[in-house]
Amino acid sequence: MPYQERSEMWREGPTWRTTIEAWRIKVGNVFEKDTRMGDNSPIRGWPMRWRASLPALSVQRGAFLQTDGKRIGNEGFFVESTVLTGTSPEACIMNEESFGRSRQIIAFKSYDEVAEEANRRLVPSGPTA
């Protein structure tokens, strides 16, 4: 999937910091000292495939992938965090449960737009909570 290379949104502080933070998260055994994110054991089977398809569908609709949220290794259900920018409100990842850790960064022009989008959400979890 394509990464966003040239974008004003990428250079903005909060987007840059969020992406760097996601890259630095150590994924692994939760009993190890520096691990910040364990496995996604609830996403076994088809949800794992579903979770992997949502960022790709968002990119097809114009979003930019900052971190790809790929699976780590072949054992367990360890998945990196996904960060998307420029996600449209119609994208699947904005309206359906992703069964994983993902962040969608959207630019708004006013607080009214923020409130409208928050109230429009169909999935009562993740960024809406």
Report the pLDDT value the prediction gives residue 41, as an integer from 0 to 100.
62
Query: pLDDT digits over 95-124, tens only?
Result: 776 666 777 888 778 888 888 887 876 555
Q: What torsion do the CA atoms of 39, 43, 119, 93 make, to the nearest 10 degrees?
A: 100
Enter the pTM of the model: 0.65
Which of 17, 19, 13, 1 shows the shortest CA–CA distance to 103? 19
Where do the domains of the chain lie, and which CATH numbers do they carry?
Answer: 8-123 (3.40.309.10)
